[in-house]
Amino acid sequence: MAHELPPLPYAYTALEPHMDEQTVRIHHDKHHATYVNNLNAALEPYPDLQRKSLDELLKGIAAVPEAARNAVRNNGGQHYNHSMYWEVMAPNGGGAATGPIAAAIAAAFGGFDTFKEQFSKAALTQFGSGWGWLVKSDGKLAIEATSNAGCPLMEGKTPLLVIDVWEHAYYLKYQNRRADFIAAWWNLVNWEAVNKRFA
Ligand code: MN
């Protein structure tokens, strides 16, 4: 069973004005699709790996034969990260965290505003291409950044929230202003989806 590009869970225009239609269209239909195609190509010689779910593949990345490991890490990581990115955004999202994750964030970071500030800083200061994350690691919440296709699943952590800070995620609308993109992105966070992952 080949890996498949998940359909965008909303219209291409749904995240306007914070995320423009053209960015969403190219990001999902071109960038994300290419990672899925390249992952399938990398798995082509390995029927046993083709039977694994994406989560299994990434958690067991060390067991992937060396000849395919980088391609699986990069394209599988990007497939996972992008699928999650679309999932944790929603039109009419944003605002302070809600539900059980709100209490956990308050306990771990001392309040939502402090969390937001620290998460934004991690995303902003990630040098070059990468991702900003809220994860659960050893039962505790933590903020992280990964470069390129880095995915916390590969390190045994549970990803709860993610922002894409590759330039392709924001350059058409925000050009070099990554901080403006991050500030706008907070208006899209789907706390219901984050709570589902946290549960
Ligand atoms: Mn991306």
Task: Write down the pTM of the prediction.
Answer: 0.97
pLDDT in tens, 14-42: 999 999 999 999 999 999 999 999 999 99
The alpha carbon of 110 and the centre of ligand 1 are apart by a number of angstroms equal to 30
Amino acid at the residue 180: D
pLDDT in tens, 65-122: 999 999 999 999 999 999 999 999 999 999 999 999 999 999 999 999 999 999 999 9
How far, in Å, CA of 65 to CA of 136, rounded? 28
Provide the percentage of residues in the chain whose pLDDT is more than 70.
99
CB 23 within 8 A of CB 85: no
Which long-range contacts (C-beta less than 8 Å, at least 24 apart) are formed by 166-169?
166/129, 166/130, 167/129, 168/23, 168/26, 168/27, 168/31, 169/23, 169/27
Ordered by start, the domain boundaries in the chain are 21-87, 100-198
Decide which of 3.40.50.720, 3.30.365.10, 3.30.70.660, 3.55.40.20 is the CATH code for 100-198.
3.55.40.20
Q: What is the mean pLDDT of residues 43-49?
A: 95
How far, in Å, CA of 193 to CA of 89, rounded? 8
Q: What is the mean pLDDT of residues 168-190?
A: 98
Question: What is the average pLDDT value for the chain, to the nearest integer?
Answer: 97
The alpha carbon of 53 and the centre of ligand 1 are apart by a number of angstroms equal to 21
The alpha carbon of 85 and the centre of ligand 1 are apart by a number of angstroms equal to 9
The alpha carbon of 38 and the centre of ligand 1 are apart by a number of angstroms equal to 15
Please say if the pLDDT value at position 1 is more than 90.
no
The alpha carbon of 166 and the centre of ligand 1 are apart by a number of angstroms equal to 6
CATH number for region 21-87? 1.10.287.990
Q: Other C-beta atoms within 10 Å of 133: how many?
A: 26
Q: What secondary structure does DSSP assign to 146-181, as a single string?
A: EETT--GGGGT-EEEEEEE-SGGGTHHHHTT-HHHH
Which residues sit opposite 131 in a β-bridge? 146, 164
Question: What is the reported pLDDT for 161?
Answer: 98
**Residue 28: partners with Cβ closer than 8 Å, 6 or more residues away:** 5, 8, 12, 82, 86
